Chains A and B, each alone.
Chain A
């Protein structure tokens, strides 16, 4: 695995699960080339193993389904995604985030954009990027959808709906990442989304 290529896009566990649960997953998996770590892959496997009987519509089922999709793609020989091995391997609840930090500390020059769903994790990795003087942007998973949109692989409506889905499933965390994406592009999603996503 040490020879796995490093693509300029690096993503963590929760970021991959978030996009894997959108309707744009198939396009995204096929079109993007991205890298994750063996620790994140292990976290995905844990989500699958520990949620064998997750009820329909539950958070556990969401984590399991997203993880299964990402794992199947990572294990697909024809996939352009890669998984790099991080040594020593971190443990604990923040192991995925820590593995990204380790990877960036050693191979920061290989990356341009890092995607993480958790806001605190983004801020923490942003500090690391600043300390090392890397030219890396740290953003939420809507950026992965934005890459598709920017390259005309998905429509504006598809971009809005997939991002809106993230708000529904991730609450404030999803709102935070999606809202700044919408504010930046700027793309008016009001014609595609219900009022419960964009409160009155």
Chain B
């Protein structure tokens, strides 16, 4: 998202959210890593915000090299690896003699 306002850090005015995080840090045994919590929460919300058409668009841009893999991975997660596995499976199936699947040749 170059040219946007997300330059180096993502910032937002945290009112009650910040107080809630501080409260949790205080009451939870051993405290909580608020930064890690925010990062994980952001990834989760980003993925949840994606509809199917967004996913397709992101993958298209990633496969054309317009988006870095780590960025695509934030949004698509393991779906990236699954696409590769599916490609391998299809390529393997393509090596078969497909005429064996035709009605005429069956049972011969």
Contacts and interface: CB of A to CB of B under 8 A. Distances in A.
Contacts of A147: 98, 101-102
A192 interface: no
Interface of B is mostly: helix
A47 B86 CA distance: 28
Interface residues of B, number: 31
B63 to A, nearest CB: 8
A199 interface: yes
Contacts of A139: 86, 89-90, 93
B90 to A, nearest CB: 4
Interface in B16-66: 52-53, 55-57, 59-61, 63
A140 interface: yes
Interface of B: 52-53, 55-57, 59-61, 63, 79, 82-83, 85-87, 89-94, 96, 98-103, 105-107
Interface of A: 5, 7-9, 30-34, 80, 112-113, 119, 122-123, 126, 137-140, 142-143, 146-147, 150-151, 167, 171-172, 175-177, 179-181, 183-185, 198-200
